[in-house]
Amino acid sequence: MEAYMQKFLEKFQHLKIQLEEITTATNNFNKENYIGVGGFGKVYKGEVSHSKGRGMVAIKRLDHASRQGAPEFLKEITMLSDYKHENVISLVGFCCEGGEMILVYELAFRGSLDSYLKSPHLTWRQRLKICLDAAKGLRYLHDPRETRRRLIHCDIKSGNILLDDQWNAKVADVGLSIIGSANEQHSLIVTAAAGTMGYIDPVYWMTNTLTKESDVYSFGVVLFEVLCGRLCYTLDNKGHVVKEILTWIKSYEQNMLNDIIFENPNIEPMHQSVLKRFSGIAYRCLKESREERPEMSEIVTELESALNIHELLQNEEFTGKWNERYKKS
């Protein structure tokens, strides 16, 4: 297997980073450099020289006890070398040396979206922009160009949406992705691949088939998480998973979603026309029938519209307050 990997990686030599440099950058994978963990393994930060220059990066080290391994490692290198977009996290290097498999990415300084869902300081403009960025990244993976094949991500969740220092969002962790044909409408794939509990398309559970609409379902869950300010699942006192998404769907259908979104008095208000558009596209993503779910291109359009309306209304509100203050002066 090792000989095969080295042969496979020959065409990516420009991305190779020496293990010695990585251990130096992370102080030998010191806990002070630790920034998170995922299905592949622990993630550290450090400064290294790479194909794009020198700078701070995120260093993901394979945990050999993980379900993931060489296939996901090689797939991540291959995919991110071919699929490049401002809203998809960039691979800047890798290390396959001394029994280690390490992936090196651009560093998203603010970490993952799931860390900010409850924050009352994250404005609605920021929340809408984050969702729009992620939607653009996923749209690109689904329909990149005629020269690229469709990528079904298979593990869309708020933990796989990373944020840079300017709150720009980037889709990450394509190691579980599956390639489909770009010129087929649905790219139906029979697979045993799995995503993350709470985000998985229910049709997948029943049929073991994945389509790009499976990603749309998962993204709809993320949109509801951003709206409601919490993860889509909780654990009861017996450690059982409770799916919040079922409550959110029911609340939307009963026109009671406001009670959940604004139960925290510190959350800033949002105009109902914006909320209607935002929650409406989120709800459509979760349709039981895959055929009724929107394309990512339509989701991008709806989120752009929601963001534009929100900014317009905010500007009008600011102008109105300024004019009132001017009249009194």
Q: Which sequence positions are flagged as catalytic?
A: 155
217 CB neighbour count, 10 Å cutoff: 23
Q: Which of 220, 217, 279, 287 is nearest to 251 (CA)?
A: 279
**Structural tokens at position 316:** 């009008």
Q: Which residue has the tokens 């006192």?
A: 237
**Structural tokens at position 241:** 């998973």
Beta-carbon contacts of 218 under 8 Å, excluding residues fewer than 6 positions away, are 153, 155, 156, 157, 195, 199, 200, 201
Q: Where are the alpha helices (DSSP H) in 145-243?
A: 202-207, 212-228
* Half-sphere exposure (Cβ direction) of 150: Cα atoms closer than 13 Å: 21
165 CB neighbour count, 10 Å cutoff: 9
Helix (DSSP H) and strand (DSSP E) numbers for the chain: 10, 14
Query: What backbone torsions phi and psi does residue 161 show, to the nearest 5 degrees?
Result: -115, 110
Q: Which of 14, 223, 242, 32 is nearest to 135 (CA)?
A: 223
Q: Which of 152, 46, 54, 156 is nearest to 102 (CA)?
A: 46
Q: How far is CA 304 from the centre of its chain?
A: 18
